[in-house]
A and B are shown apart, each in its own frame.
Chain A
Amino acid sequence: MATERAATTGVPPRVASRFWRHLDNNPWVFVLPVTVYLLALSIYPLVYSFVLSLKEYHVDTRSFSWVGLGNYAAIFQNPEFYTVFRNTAIFTVATVAIELVLGMALALFMTRRMVGKSLLRTVLIIPMMTTPMVVGLMWRFLFSTDFGIIDYLLRILFRIPPVNWLGSTPFSLISLIITDIWQWTPFAFLILYAGLQTVPDELLEAARVDGARAVQVFRHIIVPLLLPMITVVILFRGMDSFRAFDTVYTLTFGGPGRTSGTLSFLAYLEGFAYSHLGLASAMSYVMVAVIILGVTVYRFAVMQRIVR
């Protein structure tokens, strides 16, 4: 084949075939398309939003004025920021940890022989694919102390006095966490389960049958094999939980006060409700900085340990 190509182009066969082979085996050919695409789409928004974070918008004159680092200073001097930051941190850690554990448990469970697996898989996708606003309203109805089924069952079955799930601290944050777990555990499950498919059956059998060695099998064989999948779950759920907005908006509106507010909710209020565009942009950058910090810590603490 290389000789034919050479005949038409006039390039000596050995050079031509080496060129195509080099191109064929060149990593950059694989990664260039996405790199270019992302660069093209991300430069303008990044520059725009960064510059915006250094300005403030005046609604009545429709103009911007330069405030330098004033927005960032305002964020760190606002006591509400720390409340909301703490809420977001609690929310993120709780949801990611619980979803990872539940997802792993579900994935391990699904390796058993049973009928109804595909039904379960279909049903599990649905929470993730429901429009977040619909999820929020559905759970708002379910959690309602006076009209909802959850509190009704708690009252009738366990004789627990009515709990104000959506309007009291700390239950409002707990309701948000429960809703997120319901919606996103399937994500962890599906990824980990697909990863488990590559683990040999014999190991899983050993884990199930011989109880004493199960934990060790799990720790020393399954977890290392699944580490790329676990990483995906932690990174993606971590990023998304940290930026949680839809459920906060529909379920509790950050209430009482801001005790169930998240950073994204605060940024939305400032940016869209109050038109403080510069401040909202600065908040977003603070969030990005935290995410970068978290990911970098993860990268060096955990990922370097993977033997390639």
Chain B
Amino acid sequence: MERKPKAKRISRRKFLSTGAGVAVGAVTGASLLKSGAMAASHAPVIPATRRTPAAAMGGLKQFPGVTVNSIFVSGEHDDTLLRERIGDVKNQLGINLTVSDLGAGAMHDKIAEGLRSGHSPYDVSTIVGFWLAEMVGPGNFEPLEPYLKNPELTPADFDFADFVPKHLDYISYWNLQEHRNGRPGQLFLLPGPHSDAHMVVYRKDLFDKYNISAPPKTWDEYVQVAKKLHHPADGIYGTAFVAANDPSISLSEWGNRYVSMGGKFYSGSLRDKTVVPHLDSPESVAAIENMVELLDYSPPGVTSYALTNVADAMSAGKIGIMMIWVTIGGRAWAPSLSKVADKVAAAVPPGNGVTIRGGWGMGIPKDVKNKEAAWAVIRYYSTKEADKARVMNYGTAAVRTSTFKDPDVVKAYPYYPTFGKLLENATPYPSIPFPESWELVMEPSKSWNLAMAKQLKPKEACQQAQAAAQEILKKGGWSKSA
């Protein structure tokens, strides 16, 4: 089958079409570039003459022309306030600030690779409790006390003592010799942008309707309450919780039940390498059994529920009670995000009042070139005013005691007094001292999820989780003499 090549005519046509394509591409590219340049820039251009002179700043050191890159986790509004104030940072400190946000997983990977290769991409790196042992523990971060005490870098009214003491012990201090967080130790991170703990959120109106007098005090009562609230025919399920193969099934569900029942995650000392895990203890089995019982009073899809689905279920008015992080649970009170904003109330979770705490700290990797400029940004974002603004404007969780006591905050967020109480007693997730802390969260999550999917009995799931934990600790060298 012959095709006569119409050589000359086609090649001209091809040239024209290719040319047209390139031209269109160039025009599109140029217009995107222009609008991109306009939309992407947040900082208004401030002429040098209008920059406030250093004297008016109370003698704080300036960093004209220095660029500082910062990173925050997405979805928490940690970065929103700072993004808005990029111009102000330039005004007050001369710094060109960039604010990025990523999901926790991607953020972890990028920061970790930066620390390994010695080229940290972010001068201001936010760290969550789980990464402390892995990132701060090996001595990758710059001790902050010298910067805190330097009057050129930190004004006198900074009021370091105003930070919630337990949060400082959780995230800010790390003891390099004893492999643990808390004081006595060195200051590596400033608390922020938010703290966290777990609280129970319940529907006051449904409690009245079904004659439930008070929030449950024990986990067995929690099941009873869920049962009373469970009316699927009317579109209301008792409760929802994270039953998916998701880290939060360990962090929030099993974790809270376990510590509130008095369970111990491990015994022994890290320094002496005599650690023994206790994931098959009676409390652990009780925790999983409690969760399995709740399956009957939860929506049918609950084994695929992550934190967002639990929060959605409450906001959509589908469940009567839930236990969740304060920062996420708070959304139930926001009229723009929740159908039941005026019907919810907060309570301390069942058990001994101990819940899992969370939250972040901001620090400076040691390989950063301009550490003082990085400190300036961290300090700027950690003032009393900044903490309150974060909470008032974006509903984040406070890190300063003064913010908790502020009447405006209490008025806007009715659950804040409960939150303050929770924060006093909350404990970090027990695997935090280990560099393998995240693995110690995720491997048991697999077993808990299999128990929720009824593919394992609670006791079997605990044994599987215990075996996994033993393996991890042995490989890490923490159980040598056990």
Min CB distance B474 to A, Å, is: 13
Known A-B contacts A62-B116, A146-B313; the reply to A167 vs B439 at CB < 8 A is no
Known A-B contacts A144-B301, A164-B303, A167-B301; the reply to A253 vs B134 at CB < 8 A is no
Max chain A Cβ within 10 angstroms of own Cβ: one of B245, B246, B302? B245
CB of B301 within 8 A of CB of A169, answer: no
Give Cα distance in the complex from A167 to B242, angstroms.
Answer: 11
Does B438 belong to the interface (CB within 8 Å)?
yes
Give Cα distance in the complex from A145 to B240, angstroms.
Answer: 13
CB of A257 within 8 A of CB of B436, answer: no
Give Cα distance in the complex from A169 to B439, angstroms.
Answer: 24
In the complex formed, the residue of A with least CB distance to B302 is: A167
Give Cα distance in the complex from A200 to B301, angstroms.
Answer: 52
Give Cα distance in the complex from A252 to B245, angstroms.
Answer: 7
Known A-B contacts A60-B137, A256-B245; the reply to A146 vs B299 at CB < 8 A is yes
Stretch of A29-37, A114-122, A232-240, A267-275 that contacts chain B:
A267-275
Known A-B contacts A61-B138, A168-B453, A269-B442; the reply to A252 vs B109 at CB < 8 A is no
Q: Which of B309, B442, B449, B450 contacts A273 (CB 8 A)?
A: B442
Known A-B contacts A144-B304, A256-B455, A257-B453; the reply to A272 vs B105 at CB < 8 A is yes
Min CB distance A217 to B, Å, is: 16
Give Cα distance in the complex from A151 to B300, angstroms.
Answer: 11
Does B311 belong to the interface (CB within 8 Å)?
no
Does A223 belong to the interface (CB within 8 Å)?
no
Known A-B contacts A60-B137, A253-B244, A257-B450; the reply to A274 vs B439 at CB < 8 A is yes
CB of A60 within 8 A of CB of B133, answer: yes
CB of A164 within 8 A of CB of B301, answer: yes
Give Cα distance in the complex from A258 to B450, angstroms.
Answer: 9
Known A-B contacts A252-B245, A269-B442; the reply to A146 vs B301 at CB < 8 A is yes
Q: Which chain A residues (109-128) contact chain B, with CB distance < 8 Å?
A: none
Residues of B within 8 A of A12 (CB): none
CB of A255 within 8 A of CB of B244, answer: yes
CB of B105 within 8 A of CB of A253, answer: no
CB of A167 within 8 A of CB of B244, answer: yes
Does A165 belong to the interface (CB within 8 Å)?
yes
In the complex formed, the residue of B with least CB distance to A143 is: B304
In the complex formed, the residue of B with least CB distance to A62 is: B138
Give Cα distance in the complex from A151 to B112, angstroms.
Answer: 41
Q: List 30 A-B contacts (CB under 8 A).
A: A60-B137, A61-B138, A145-B301, A146-B309, A146-B313, A147-B309, A164-B304, A165-B301, A165-B304, A166-B301, A166-B304, A167-B245, A167-B453, A168-B303, A168-B453, A169-B455, A200-B1, A253-B244, A254-B245, A256-B450, A256-B455, A257-B446, A257-B449, A257-B453, A258-B245, A269-B442, A272-B109, A272-B112, A274-B439, A275-B435
Give Cα distance in the complex from A273 to B246, angstroms.
Answer: 13
Does A59 belong to the interface (CB within 8 Å)?
yes
Min CB distance A228 to B, Å, is: 18
Does B71 belong to the interface (CB within 8 Å)?
no
Q: Which chain B residues (419-446) contact chain A, with CB distance < 8 Å?
A: 435-436, 438-439, 442, 446
Q: Which chain B residues (217-249) contact chain A, with CB distance < 8 Å?
A: 243-246
Interface size on B, residues (CB 8 A): 40
Does B318 belong to the interface (CB within 8 Å)?
yes
Min CB distance B440 to A, Å, is: 10
Q: Which of B134, B243, B299, B312 contacts A275 (CB 8 A)?
A: B134
Min CB distance B367 to A, Å, is: 12
Does B357 belong to the interface (CB within 8 Å)?
no
Q: Which of A62, A164, A272, A275 contacts B300 (CB 8 A)?
A: A164
Q: Which chain A residues (242-259) contact chain B, with CB distance < 8 Å?
A: 252-258
Does A68 belong to the interface (CB within 8 Å)?
no
In the complex formed, the residue of B with least CB distance to A145 is: B301
CB of B299 within 8 A of CB of A145, answer: yes
CB of A272 within 8 A of CB of B303, answer: no
Min CB distance A256 to B, Å, is: 4
Closest 7 A/B residue pairs (Cβ): A255-B245, A145-B301, A167-B303, A167-B304, A166-B304, A256-B453, A59-B435
* B150-191 interface code vs A (CB 8 A; 1 in, 0 out): 000000000000000000000000000000000000000000
Residues of A within 8 A of B438 (CB): 273-274
* A162-180 interface code vs B (CB 8 A; 1 in, 0 out): 1011111100000000000
Does B108 belong to the interface (CB within 8 Å)?
yes
Give Cα distance in the complex from A270 to B464, angstroms.
Answer: 19
Residues of A within 8 A of B450 (CB): 256-257
CB of B304 within 8 A of CB of A252, answer: yes
Give Cα distance in the complex from A256 to B303, angstroms.
Answer: 8
Min CB distance A49 to B, Å, is: 14
Residues of A within 8 A of B304 (CB): 144-145, 164-167, 252, 255
CB of A255 within 8 A of CB of B300, answer: no
CB of A59 within 8 A of CB of B442, answer: no
* A145-166 interface code vs B (CB 8 A; 1 in, 0 out): 1110001000000000010111
Give Cα distance in the complex from A226 to B374, angstroms.
Answer: 60
Give Cα distance in the complex from A160 to B115, angstroms.
Answer: 52
Residues of B within 8 A of A256 (CB): 245, 303, 449-450, 452-453, 455
Residues of B within 8 A of A258 (CB): 245, 446
* A195-239 interface code vs B (CB 8 A; 1 in, 0 out): 000001000000000000000000000000000000000000000
Give Cα distance in the complex from A100 to B59, angstroms.
Answer: 70
Q: Which of B1, B112, B246, B316 contacts A253 (CB 8 A)?
A: B246
Give Cα distance in the complex from A269 to B453, angstroms.
Answer: 22
* B288-321 interface code vs A (CB 8 A; 1 in, 0 out): 0000000000011111110001001100101000
Residues of A within 8 A of B300 (CB): 145-146, 162, 164
In the complex formed, the residue of B with least CB distance to A57 is: B116
CB of B245 within 8 A of CB of A257, answer: yes
Min CB distance A25 to B, Å, is: 19
Known A-B contacts A62-B116, A273-B442, A275-B134; the reply to A257 vs B455 at CB < 8 A is yes
